[in-house]
Structure 1
Amino acid sequence: MVEADRKRPRRERKENADRRRRQLLDAACRSILAHGLAKTTLATVASEAELSQGVAAFYFKSKLGLLTEALRDLYQRYEDHWTASLERAGDEPAEKIRALIKADFHPDACGPDVLPLWYAFWGELRFQLQYDEVAEHFETRRRETLRVIWNELLPDDEVTSPDQMAEWMETLTDGYWQRLHLAPQGLSRKQAEQAAWGCLVRLVPELLGDTA
């Protein structure tokens, strides 16, 4: 199968490779949801993708390589999601913060097929350096984006720093994501969004209170 691909034109080979990588990354997520992270292997992923284990090994070399790329893809999809929300928001910093809160509680960010993936990987960050490096790469960009927006909102605030507000905002999201993951029957995504937003409005009512 792989040998046949080598005989195709370069563009077609790349399209086939991209398609197979996408198949395998999506299959890795399904395998984690079905079997858990520890029991996900190249074999379970290949089975989910309806490809041979040899094809999975060809593209990702090892289970760790495959799962590291699955985590990178999860973060990339999240980053694409919240940056797209920012682009659709207005120019006012308060509108950007509101857009980010809405994005964080959208199904694409924390739906029932997504939250278990986050927590599966986060439980392994301290044991797998590769996972930790992927997380830090994306989370650093996210923190810097939040810091810049909060700095626009609080340029001269001597009490609450933009860094502190960015940290609080992320802590709210993390906390409500955890509740949604552990006890989804007691909290909806919409309720979590409203609660997180309500907390930020209480912290800076003069800046966020009029934002819908």
Structure 2
Amino acid sequence: MGGATTRKPRKERKENAERRRRQLLDAARRSILTHGLARTTLATVADEAGLSQGVAVFYFTSKGGLLTETLRDLYEGYESLWMRALEGAGEAPLDRLMALLAADFSAEACGPDVLPLWFAFWGELRFTGHYAEVAAEFDMRRHAALSGIWAALLPQSSQTEAEQLAEWMESLTDGYWQRLHLAPESYDRARALAASKVCLSRLVPDLLRAPTT
């Protein structure tokens, strides 16, 4: 009985800490959308969260620490999204490729409240080492997964060729993300997904015969 009563407050403290941390990360996203990355501060984030600046400092110490963790959280959400897509697609390589592509153009990955965050951080990768380290960590796992799918799709190809195909596909989706970000009034996610499928069918015509849905 005594052990149970001491564990409960500890669990509650942990849950409260996780809730506060989540609250601040969500507020950081809103602050970036409202003020931009450069003008987001611990104060703007605390204000968005409805908390004191002291609470923000307690959990993240500095603006740099908070923004780095916000980027990591963004990548973690994206990684969870495409990994769930792969888990639900089964073992067929083509199904896995199409599932991953569909996930890339979901609202969760590149909706209007997410794309500005990606591009705000990507614009700073060359200048902020912590951002670049976070991006490299997640991009490496994503590239490895995509290269593996291409290698399974084209078993006669070399590892270098599979990695090249993965790079081309990443560049393709990145380009459409940029278009969706810069001209959302003239382009939408469904159109970008369909166009990407057609492009891949041209790249490997014997394997992907112009899928349009």
How many residues are aligned here?
205
Shift of 1:210: 7.8
Report 1 or 2 for greater relative contact order, CA contacts < 8 Å, sequence distance ≥ 6.
Answer: 1
Regions of 4+ moved over 6 Å: none
Q: C-alpha deviations, 1:158-181, integer Å up to 9, x for none?
A: 6x8101110010001100000000
Matched residue of 1:205: which SS? coil
Shift of 1:137: 0.2
Which residues of structure 2 form unaligned runs of 5+? 1-7
Match of 1:58 in 2: 58
Which residues of structure 1 form unaligned runs of 5+? 1-7
Are 1:204 and 2:207 counterparts?
Answer: no
CA distance in 2, matches of 1:84, 1:107: 15
What's the C-alpha RMSD, in Å, of the aligned pairs?
1.6
TM-score (norm 2): 0.93
Match of 2:119 in 1: 119
CA contact (8 A) 1:86 1:99 kept: yes
Shift of 1:90: 2.7
TM-score (norm 1): 0.93
CA contact (8 A) 1:154 1:161 kept: no
Matched residue of 2:185: which SS? helix
Match of 1:5 in 2: none
Q: Identity over aligned residues, as a percent?
A: 64
Moved more, 145-154 or 198-207: 198-207
Matched residue of 2:207: which SS? helix
Matched residue of 1:185: which SS? coil
Match of 2:168 in 1: 168
Matched residue of 1:208: which SS? coil
Matched residue of 2:206: which SS? helix
CA distance in 1, matches of 2:157, 2:77: 34
Are 1:16 and 2:16 counterparts?
Answer: yes
